[in-house]
Structure 1
Amino acid sequence: MTLAQSVLAQTGAASPALPTPGVVTASPDAPAGQQQGSSTSQSAGVDSTSLGEIVVTAQRRAQNLQDVPVAVTAFTADQMEARGVSTVTDIARVSPSLTVTENTNATGSSINLRGIGTFSFSIGIEPSVAIVVDDVALLQQAQAFSGLSDIARLEVLRGPQGTLFGKNAAAGVINIVTQGPTSTLTGAIGATATTDEQYRVEAMISGPLAKDVGFRLNAFYDDRQGYIRNLNTGNKLNGERNYGVRGRLDLDPFDRLNVALTGSYSNTRSDGQVRTFRSLNPGANIFGAPVQASVDGTDLGDSNYRIRLDTEPKNVSKQAMFTSRATLDLDTANLISITAYQDWRFHFLEDFDQLGTPTLSNPAVPTSAPVPNGSIATASFHARNFTQELRLVSSGKRKLDYLVALFYAKGNTDRDYSRRPNTAASWRADATTQTMAAFTQLTYNITDRTHIDAGLRFNRERITGSFLNTTPGAVPVANNATCLAECSGRSSDNEVTYKFAVRQDLSDAVMIYGSYATGYKGQGFDISTGFTPARAANPVRPETSKAYEVGIKSRFFDNRVQLNLTGFWTDFKDFQAQAQITLPDGSIVPQLSNVGALRSRGVEAELSAKVTRLLRVDASAAYTDAKIRDFSNAPCYTGQTAAQGCVRVGTGAFQDLSGATLANAPKFKYNIAATQDVELPSLPFDGFVTGEFAHQSRVSFDLLGSPVSYQRAYGVVNASIGIQSRSGREFRAALFVNNLFDENYSTSLQYAGNSNAQAVVQLLPRNSRRYAGIRMRVGF
């Protein structure tokens, strides 16, 4: 018996050598464990009348999803494939309380849980939602937008998770677990082709190399054409071409010792995301150029997929990650060492004025010389992060289960930025973070049915930030309010977070729980255009939270129905919020502020049911009330008047946002999906039909409350039909359609450039229009 199999046996999970249909297994001392391969959920549905068990690592140990006192949504690889989840943005469609706010490039996008997320231009601010891949947190949230490949399981943990996952998990965690080596030689190749010209191929081979040595190798190539037509060139924008490879080697060099070595690399090149114009007022101009000339031939409105640009955007993301995981079996516990290094490079070029005509070199002087290609912005990022974690985890069933760990991380991110010639700005910056932490998670089993869970984390962090203004012709301003030489700052902070939960098993299939947790997101430097010595001396204050949660996890009717309900109430203090301020000269300056207080509360429900032996239904719903409680000195939004609540004091402009709803926090969000298996006894395969409807209510994308930033409520229908092998060699083929009824919607709305509230632009994602395709997978 291998070490992975031994640990699985101790925790009660199925052994990889003896897979149970519909059961997803994971070792607490290996991200995915050794896997026998994956049986599709549809096949499991043909053979079983009950729901399968899902084992998750939400508390850094293998546990049945229904035994974890945390609001968790978990998806297996087959469930993700059946519902078309291939990117992080797709997760928002199938997970309650999760939304994604997209920007023109990944560095400006944010992932939000229960209305809480971090939208920041600064490289010195960490996200509120941590992205964790095989137990290693990504340094920059933008690294997560490179697509998903060879995933064994994906978990969405809602609410503060800082005691186990660290200070960048103040609102929750997306925990991604990749596939591990199989115990026998297996392989597969998959392909996807769509009507909007996406062509993807992915291949995998896995198995033993020798006794006590296993491997897995996965590679993919994806080429997707754009869907926004640039009328100036005839090219399609917002397309993407990417490829990647991941390799893993598992070794048992000595008795009781397992070592897993993983390396991955991905390269993504895209020509977007670009925004299109939704509306404009007569006479609207940007940097002195009339907007009307750049919208001729387009379809102004919420279904405008045409634009005129004189400079087409380019984004390039290159990411490498290396992880070593060593596990020593000490009989009563496992000693685990996780060492990781990640390197991410990103570069973007974009048309800052969003026009297809020349702008004026001096917008205030109508006779000034035209600028042929308008205003262009470029930036380069380079992030490196080293982490080391040492963890001692008890094994087997005992009165007291424990996890004790030490953690160290050192991260560094560089950024160069240039915008020219209008409102010219160029600078170089660097941000570092060094973290040392000690944490523990204890479970005391008072009786067989009464359990107490407690977690504690001590975190010490040191941060630095430096900024050098390289804008040609920059001159000093009053009160040393600009950085002509290098501005730099440093700070440190200590914080203790904790969590306490009580759970009671009312029966073998029904558990209720209540928990209280504190959350913390570290301080940071607002390193962006407009950085000043004052910002260097005063980092943005840490964000803290207090979270209350109650829930019930249950199964009924011989495990045919699973219903999980959660009620939550979280109070945040000094929430870190990003805004863009338009100055009197028309220049746009990012500004990060601490919101005094906000509150997120609501109810979530998740349902899975085997209605019949061949029909499965999955549904989730969330009601979220996420509001600002105190933000009396908030900046005014672009174009806001005194009648709309903007108060001018000297050169500043302020509004009171107390009582306002958070950005991209829909009050209602739900989805329902059904899979009907079709037995075809006279054929060597069976069929299946799936359907899904996802809906969310009206939202605003602007924290400052701009009236043009509201996206109306919408719902999207996806469907598929296909065949799959009944036994033996894996085979699956499906015809699918996305957004069946062509429901257009945006994931970002704002005023264009310095149009002084005269023109509105939108970001329309790929999934906002209908497309169809075929997806196939063959394995052995």
Structure 2
Amino acid sequence: MRCEAARSPAIITTLGAGLFMAMLTPAYAEEATSEDAIIVTARGRPEAQIAVPDTVTVFTQDDIVRRKLTTIDDFIAETPGVFMINDQDPGTNMITVRGVSTNRNQSPSIAYVVDGLALPDSELFTLRTYDVARVEILKGPQGALFGRSASGGAVNIATNDPTEVAGGVASLGVGNGFTWTADGVVNAPVSDRVQLRLAGSFRNSDGFIRNSYLDKKVDGFTSRNLRLKASVAVSETSTLKLRFGWADEEGGAAYISSENVTGRNGGRLSGAILTNPQGDFEGRASRKWWGAQATIEQELGDTLLLTWSGGYDHYRKDFVEELDFRHDTPVTLDGVPLFPDGIQPISQPVDIEAWTSEVRLTSQAAGPLRWHAGFFFQRLERDRTDDLGPLLFGAEPLRAETRSNQIGLFAQASYDVLPTLEATLGLRYDRDRRKENTVGTNTAATYARRAQTFDKWQPKVSLAWHPTQDFTAYVTGSLGFKSGGFNPLPGASDIWTANFAAETVESLEAGIKSRLADGRVRLTLAGFVTDYSNFQNTVFLGNSVVLSVPKVNVHGLEASAEAELDLGFRVDGGAAWTHSRAGRYTTPNPTPEPGEPAMVDLTGKRTPNAPDWTLNAGIGWQGDAGRAKVDARLSVAYVSRVDFEMDNILHTPGYASVDGRVGVDLGPWGFEIWTKNLFDRRWAISAFGQQQLPLLLGLGPNGPFDSFTINTGRQFGVGATRRF
């Protein structure tokens, strides 16, 4: 692994701090020997969070309620070093972990695992989270455990299982934007051997963003969700678990604003330039998903556990928008009135079908050696149609029919070299056979057939020193990769290639974790160096394409702390500094003007959607007020400058958001009042620039334009819950 000298001081400082604190910690730890109450399963078995030699942020069921975490966006906003963009429609998203993000329409950089099985496509990442028991977010390459889509990290979600106790919960809420929610859970033990759990979630909103030309809110949506889980004790040593899920969502999409931000504001997306949408076409999206999963757990004596999980996902999204984001007609391109009614409608429907299976053998015997090994298979069928409407000038729309067969062999073993020193070695081999046919939607003619196989051995090794139950110092090295893929077919003047290479990640992390004051104080500190080769940078050039960056160099520091204070108070906070920059990188100029160079040098530029700083802090109080139990929390999150493209022109400056919640429990009843973005701060959450997209550069009248999406502003509401 290559580590430039310029990055060495930060890592040396981290390692030195870790060693220094490791030498001091045993003096504290003798007073605190209780076991860690926070358990994680990210490494394939239940473990104390403090003992895992990785940076893991955990949200327990109590955290989820107290912090009002209802979407994956909420969890990520509470996690330093992680950043997320929900863009254009409910299924399109990009998650950035430690400087490098996922890319649209291609393999994700984040493994997203629900109840033990990896979701097949990033379109499914933003399905509504509800009735959740625990969320674990792991940072850094996790390929040894989760495979070729975990080069940046992993999100591990466990939903609540059925229990032997009958009962349930029903909740109602109302909020601004004429938003109302209804959630419910029924736990029904059928017999001593069979338990059922039915959970549902409904949300309806008129929205928060008003289109100034149409004079209506354009981000309203409706979300309907159901999940049925069953647990069947087949025998004393065998358990069958079943899960069925369904989601149906519809609402506004592509509520994108348009302004000459580059010319008028130097690319800075703030202040008066953040205008509301003003297009004359209302974007809409709808999506439906259903999935099923079966898991069998079989104990083999007292020392082994055999687990098999199989799942099926079926997903359909319809999406329609405009591309000029203006109400002026006719719309001109380079002064020529080519589009009398505007550039609309544009549609990009997506169909996904996937089969996923994993078998795993896990050791359970007490002793110095702990291991597991397994086999993974996933078949993904993904069809996306790019109907660009008037921009096709009479040509037929094309459909990309992508097929992927992935197999993975993996194993991991941890051994106590000494009573206080654990060595862990993980190794995984992934083989991803991908092919894509580009066909005409009208004639069924085949325009291109492409196929390629991507494979990689992904090792991971770590040393963890546990002098007591309350302290861990560790060093972890890992390698990950993300499969390459296929861009939309390029034209003669386009700057992208038809295929792009796999992305490879090498990472080194060192950190410490500590509990003090009888476990009432928790501290973590980590430093990391990561090298990316063939970083897959997503660029919007009329369609989402990948331009490979030969090298991206990342290093950073992360810290977190939480403490339970006297009188019922609790404080927590985290900070992440991530320095993510392109290495030596020149690329063709996508919008060459007369006198401008044909190539542009982007060496040293920030990677897109990767803020240098992410910070959060919160203070909470729990106590009694007469018969009532009160739970109050106030938190703040800060994100530094975010650049939306590799040229670092369009950007939003740093911003902070304040959230709050007060909950009151009266026996079986619970009541809450909450707010998000209390001070109604506005910022851009995504943008496409005229220096990257020739269409925007030549668009008129009164062009050129940049396009961007603003956040929803302040939200607030009240809710009531009844437990029975």
TM-score over 0.5 (shorter chain): yes
CA 231–261 in structure 1, closer or farther in 2 if over 3 Å, else same:
same
**Map of 2:597 onto structure 1:** 647
Q: Which residue of 2 aligns with 1:577?
A: 537
TM-aligned CA deviation for residue 119 of structure 1: 2.2
Change (3 A) 1:704 1:234: same
Contact 1:355–1:374, Cα closer than 8 Å, also in 2: no
Report the Cα distance in structure 2 between the residues aligned to 1:560 and 1:349, rounded to whole angstroms. 52
Equivalent residue, structure 2, for 1:438: 409
Q: How much has 1:567 moved relative to structure 2?
A: 0.8
Q: CA 1:549–1:641 in structure 2 vs 1: closer, same or farther (change >3 Å)? A: farther
**Cα offset for 1:534?**
12
1:100 aligned onto 2:100: no
Which secondary structure state, in structure 2, belongs to the residue aligned with residue 142 of structure 1?
Answer: helix
CA shift for structure 1 position 660: 1.1
Question: For residue 483 of structure 2, what is the amino acid of its counterpart?
Answer: G
Following superposition, the deviation at residue 225 of structure 1 comes to 1.4
Specify the SS of the correspondent of 1:78.
helix
Q: Residues of 2 paired with 1:724 and 1:577: CA distance? A: 48
Matching residue's letter, 1:701 = F
Change over 3 Å in CA distance of 1:528–1:772 after alignment to 2: farther
Amino acid at match of 1:693: V
Displacement, 1:231? 3.5
Distance in structure 2 (CA, Å) of the matches to 1:196 and 1:338: 41
Asked if the contact 2:99/2:607 (under 8 Å) is kept, the reply is yes
**What residue ranges of structure 1 are gaps of 5+ in the alignment?**
1-49, 284-298, 473-482, 582-587, 649-653
**Aligned counterpart, 2:618:** 673
**AA partner of residue 445 (structure 1):** D
Alignment of 1:22-37 (within 5 A): none
Separation (CA, whole Å) in 1 of partners of 2:538 and 2:364 = 44
The alpha-carbon distance between structure 1 residues 353 and 555, as it changes in their structure 2 partners (threshold 3 A), is: same
Aligned to 1:740: 678
Q: Give the counterpart of 1:314 among 269, 281, 284.
A: 284
CA distance in 1, matches of 2:285, 2:414: 46
**Would you say the 8 A contact 1:666–1:699 is kept in 2?**
yes
**Residues 67/416 of structure 1: CA separation in 2 closer, same or farther (3 Å cut):** same
1:460 alignment partner, SS class:
strand
- Counterpart contact for 1:51–1:560, Cα < 8 Å: no
Q: Is the 8 A contact 1:487 1:532 kept in 2?
A: no
The counterpart of 1:262, out of the listed 243, 259, 272, is: 243
Q: Structure 2 CA distance, aligned partners of 1:213 and 1:489?
A: 48
Aligned to 2:382: 413
CA contact (8 A) 1:310 1:355 kept: yes
Q: 1:160 aligned to 141, 163, 181, which one?
A: 141
| Residue of structure 2 in register with 1:89 after alignment | 73
Residue 243 (structure 2) pairs with residue 274 (structure 1): no
Q: Secondary structure at the match of 1:744?
A: coil
Corresponding residue SS for 2:136: strand
The CA deviation at 1:182 is 1.7
Spell out the pairing of 1:729-768 with structure 2 (5 A cutoff).
Answer: 729-751=667-689, 753-756=695-698, 758-766=704-712
CA 1:750/1:735 → structure 2, altered by over 3 Å: closer, same or farther? same
State the 1:590 CA deviation: 4.1
Instruction: Compute the displacement of 1:421 (Å).
Output: 1.4
Deviation at 1:470, TM superposition (A): 5.6
Offset of residue 242 of structure 1: 0.8
Deviations 1:103-158 (A, max 9, x none): 212454211101111223x4xx2011121111221222121122211111111100
| Pairing 1:486-565 to 2, within 5 Å after superposition | 486-527=447-488, 539-565=499-525
Distance of 2:466 and 2:35 partners within structure 1:
19
Q: Does 1:378 align with 2:347?
A: yes
Q: Partners in 1 of 2:631 and 2:140 — Cα distance?
A: 36
Instruction: For residues 67-114 of structure 1, give each alpha carbon's deviation from its aligned partner in whole angstroms, at most 9, with x where no partner exists.
Output: 111110010122122212211222232001111133212454211101
Secondary structure of 2:126 counterpart? helix
Structure 2 residues without counterparts, runs of 5 or longer: 1-33, 265-269
The answer to whether the 8 A contact 2:496-2:546 is kept is no
What fraction of aligned residue pairs are identical, expressed as a percent?
23
C-alpha separation in 1, matches of 2:45 and 2:594: 54
- Pick which of 513-522 and 608-617 moved more: 608-617
The one-letter amino acid paired with 1:119 is N
- Residue 500 of structure 2: SS of its match in structure 1? coil
Higher relative contact order (CA 8 A, sep 6+): 2
Q: 1:108 to 1:736 in 2, by over 3 A?
A: closer
User: Offset of 1:471 from its aligned partner?
Assistant: 8.8
| Corresponding residue of 2:363 | 394
Q: Which residue of 629, 636, 655 maps to 2:589?
A: 636
Q: What's the offset of the Cα at 1:640? A: 7.3
Tell me what 1:292 maps to: none
Name the counterpart of 1:170: 151
Structure 2 CA distance for partners of 1:454 and 1:52, relative to 1, 3 Å: closer
Measure, in 2, the Cα distance between the counterparts of 1:486 and 1:315.
28
CA distance in 1, matches of 2:427, 2:262: 56
| Matching residue's letter, 1:430 | E
1:524, distance to aligned residue in structure 2 (A): 1.2
Q: Is 1:692–2:658 an aligned residue pair? A: no
Deviations 1:698-732, CA, capped at 9 Å, x for gaps: 12111233x2x11111111111223124xxx5432
Contact 2:496 2:547 in 1 (8 A): no
**1:57 equivalent in alignment to 2:41:** yes
TM-score (norm 1): 0.82
Distance 1:637 1:101 in 2: 24
Contact in 2 for aligned 1:736/1:772 (Cα 8 Å): yes
Which position in structure 2 is the counterpart of 1:595? 549
Given candidates 225, 235, 246, the residue that maps to 2:206 is 225
Match among 105, 108, 127 for residue 108 of structure 2: 127
Q: 2:720 corresponds to which residue?
A: 776
Describe the shift of the 1:744–1:337 C-alpha distance in structure 2 as closer, same or farther (beyond 3 A): same
Q: 1:758 offset after TM fit, Å? A: 2.4
Task: Report the Cα distance in structure 2 between the residues aligned to 1:470 and 1:216, rounded to whole angstroms.
Answer: 43
The separation in 2 between residues aligned to 1:101 and 1:692, in whole angstroms, is 21
Residue 526 of structure 2 corresponds to which residue in structure 1? 566
Are the equivalent residues in 1 in contact too, given 2:35–2:469 (CA < 8 A)?
A: no
Q: Give 2:709's aligned amino acid.
A: L
Does the CA contact (< 8 Å) of 2:254 and 2:284 recur in 1?
no
CA contact (8 A) 1:615 1:674 kept: yes
Contact 1:302 1:745 in 2 (8 A): no
Distance (whole Å) between structure 1 residues aligned to residue 273 and residue 171 of structure 2: 35
Task: Note if contact 1:264-1:320 (Cα within 8 Å) is conserved in structure 2.
Answer: yes
Match of 1:479 in 2: none
Offset at residue 179 of structure 1 (A):
0.7
Paired with 1:392 and 1:187, the residues of 2 have a C-alpha distance of 34
Are residues 1:713 and 2:654 paired?
yes
Match of 1:459 among 430, 434, 440: 430
Question: Matches of 2:369 and 2:616 in 1, distance apart?
Answer: 39
In 2, the alpha carbon distance for the partners of 1:282 and 1:657 equals 20
Q: Which amino acid aligns with 1:647?
A: P
**Could you tell me how far 1:741 is from its partner in structure 2?**
1.5
Q: CA deviation at 1:461?
A: 1.8
The C-alpha deviation readout for 1:546-601, integer Å capped at 9, x for no partner, is 110111111001111000111111111111112134xxxxxx35431221011111
d(CA) in 2 for partners of 1:607, 1:503: 20
Instruction: Tell me if the contact between 2:57 and 2:79 (Cα under 8 Å) persists in the aligned partners.
Output: yes
Aligned partners of 2:495 and 2:588 also within 8 Å: no
In structure 2, relative to structure 1, the CA distance for the partners of 1:533 and 1:260 (3 Å cut) is: farther
Retained in 2: the 8 A contact 1:579–1:704?
Answer: no
Could you say what the CA RMSD is over the residues aligned between the two structures, in angstroms? 2.6
Contact 1:130/1:141 (<8 A) preserved: no
Aligned twin of 1:151? 132
Q: Is the 8 A contact 2:685 2:708 kept in 1?
A: yes
1:656 equivalent in structure 2: 601
**Structure 2 residue 285 is matched with structure 1 residue 338:** no
Mapping for residues 107-122 of structure 1, pairs under 5 Å: 107-120=91-104, 122=105
Cα drift, residue 469 of structure 1 = 4.6
